[in-house]
Amino acid sequence: MLNPYRYYAGQFSASFIEITFTGEDVVPFLQNQSTYDISLIPDNSFQLISFLDPQGRVESYGWLVKKNHLYSYLVPEALIEKSLERLNKFLISEDVTLSAPTKRSYHFLVGPDAAPTAEAASGILFDEKAYLQETPGPHPEIPSSEVDAWRALTGYPRFDGNDFKPEIINNLRLFDLSLKQNKGCYPGQETVSKIATRRGAAYSPVLIELGVEAIPGDINSFEKKIGSADGCYRWKDHFYLTVSLLRDFRVEGMKIQFSINDSSYEGIVRYYPLLSGNPVIKAEELFYEGSDHFRKDELELAEEKFRLAIKMDPGFADAYESLGVMLGRLERFEEALALMKKLSEVNPKSVLAHTNMSLFLMRLGRIEEAEEHKSLATVKSFQSYGDEAEQKELEEKRKQALHDEWAKRESMFRQVLEIDPEDALANFGLGSIAVEKGEWDIARDHLEAVIKSDPKYSVAYLALGRALKGLGLVSEAKNIWQEGIKVAAAKGDLMPANQMQQELNS
């Protein structure tokens, strides 16, 4: 399992063909030719970058390493010939020299506890803090199958490049991992920007969550090819297909029915990365797992998860509280007291920290200290009432400002409708305000008018579904959202499509 490496650290080796750059013009050359903003790469670090042809297709990808202000490019072995051809093609009058390609083996140290040498380069790999160095580290070796699963579930390209096919970068996960959209020009940039700012890529990588294992292949739905899968990986209780999926179906949380090689499946679309390296997100995952073990009376497992959650996020107040309460029930009062003391430091307004300390101290017979914390709990309780009153006052001011803004916008939209009762923007504006107010009937009338005049107005479906739900017409709301998802996905409006899918899921 990958979790020991995600919560602590692990390492693995990878071989590359290394090319070093020397000369006065190395930085401007890399800046003008690669997809990444070279100025953002700190010294002693590494970054995944790509080089494109003028049509926006990826010709080379690899890891650019900056050490002591010098640059080297680690290229997957299968891509070395194409990479050299691409680099030399645009090397005209610049003072840049490429070294002879050299095969080198490196070690990646990955995870929050990774302990690198002084010579290591830092960066992000598999959405985790990582280091790249020539010598092995002190961590457990990650099996190759686990490395491949971690790579696939976070969408990283293969280190050997054996499966790579030149495609427009918008169709690849490299678009998210190796490209800065706001950087200056580079070959292919115009094509890439046009695709990104219009409807997005027709096909793009996502995951499909399944309850059973599937053999990769072409993905068909209603006798139409909607994508292709190139791998299937298990994570916890599910299987995940790594797929390139048609825009219309690329909506987070969407349930889709499809077939591969005449076998039928039902799955859920998931976005990359499936495994987050964000310590706060990992802490929340662990906290919920710990809470589940606690409910099942699996106390050793619960303690392990709560402690790991605190390790991931030392400011996680709920984890301190839950673990402290659990240890208190187990009569491990000194440990519970230490956790409640830490809770009061993490959240100085916590009433429960002092309430629980009072209870634990009472059980230990330390009556005077118990009374002291009982008093502190009372004081903080009164302070919380004061905070609530202040919050209520601020909320009233916010509501008044919102009502004033509604009135201003409503007046403007009504003036437009006096001229043109079918104006989609004005009807949508009034319908949206009515949804915010909870005036469901008024909202429905305006939003139905929007869709009647402009059936492709995707955000109107989202708002109309909410109005119908407010009226208790849940079935009608579902139908509108399902229709709206198709409209939004076809236009590439993935934000309203995702919001409608979230409404359906809830």
At 35, is the pLDDT very low, low, confident or very high (cuts 50, 70, 90)?
Answer: very high
**Cβ atoms < 10 Å from Cβ of 63:** 24
Which of residues 80 and 372 earns the better pLDDT score? 80
The amino acid at residue 397 is K
Which of residues 151 and 355 earns the better pLDDT score? 151
Residues comprising the chain, all counted: 506
Q: β-strand 128-133 against 121-125: which pairing, if any?
A: antiparallel
Give percent of the chain above pLDDT 70: 98
At 388, is the pLDDT very low, low, confident or very high (cuts 50, 70, 90)?
Answer: low
Backbone angles phi, psi at 420, to 5 degrees: -140, 95
- Residue 501's pLDDT is what? 87
Residue 151: closest CA among 295, 273, 292, 322? 273
Question: Which pLDDT tens digit goes with each residue over 293-308?
Answer: 999 999 999 999 999 9
DSSP state of 155: T
Under 8 Å between Cβ of 89 and 71? no
Q: What is the mean pLDDT of the chain?
A: 91
Q: For residue 248, what is the enclosing H or E element? A: none
Which of residues 499 and 13 earns the better pLDDT score? 13
Please give, one letter per residue, the 3-state secondary structure of 282-314.
HHHHHHHHHHHHHHCCCHHHHHHHHHHHHHHCC
Which SS3 state, helix, strand or coil, does residue 107 take? Answer: strand
Q: Alpha-carbon distance 325 to 291, whole Å?
A: 12
**Cβ atoms < 10 Å from Cβ of 501:** 24
* pTM, entire model: 0.82
- Residue 165's pLDDT is what? 87
- Residue 389's pLDDT is what? 64
Output the CA torsion sign for 215, 220, 221, 223.
negative
Question: Which pLDDT tens digit goes with each residue over 443-467?
Answer: 999 999 999 999 999 899 999 999 9
Q: Exposure string (b/e) for 261-287, b if CB count within 10 Å is 16 or more? A: eeeebebbbbbbbbbebebeebbbbbb
Whether omega for the bond prior to residue 421 falls within 30 degrees of 0, making it cis, is no
- Tell whether the model's pLDDT for residue 386 goes beyond 60: no
Residue 501: closest CA among 79, 282, 289, 206? 206
Which of residues 106 and 501 earns the better pLDDT score? 106
Q: Alpha-carbon distance 99 to 101, whole Å?
A: 6
- Tell whether the model's pLDDT for residue 376 goes beyond 90: no
Tokens representing 407 are 């009135």
At 417, is the pLDDT very low, low, confident or very high (cuts 50, 70, 90)?
Answer: confident
Within 8 A by CB and 6+ apart from 65, the residues are 45, 46, 71, 72, 73, 74, 121, 132
- Residue 104's pLDDT is what? 95
Q: Alpha-carbon distance 209 to 187, whole Å?
A: 36
Under 8 Å between Cβ of 206 and 171? no
**Cβ atoms < 10 Å from Cβ of 295:** 9
Q: What is the mean pLDDT of residues 22-37?
A: 95
Q: Where is average pLDDT lowest: 60-74, 88-102, 330-344, 384-398?
A: 384-398
- Tell whether the model's pLDDT for residue 373 goes beyond 90: no
Q: What is the mean pLDDT of residues 45-67?
A: 96
Q: What is the mean pLDDT of residues 266-278?
A: 95
Q: Alpha-carbon distance 403 to 16, whole Å?
A: 61
Question: Which pLDDT tens digit goes with each residue over 118-174?
Answer: 999 999 999 999 999 999 999 999 999 999 999 999 999 999 999 898 899 999 999
Residue 50: strand pairing partners:
61
Domains located in the chain, CATH noted? 3-194 (3.30.1360.120), 202-270 (2.40.30.110), 279-388 (1.25.40.10), 420-505 (1.25.40.10)
- Residue 384's pLDDT is what? 65
Question: Which pLDDT tens digit goes with each residue over 191-243?
Answer: 999 998 887 888 999 999 999 999 999 999 877 899 999 999 999 999 999 99
Q: β-strand 238-246 against 255-260: which pairing, if any?
A: unpaired
Within 8 A by CB and 6+ apart from 343, the residues are 317, 320, 321, 324, 350, 352, 353
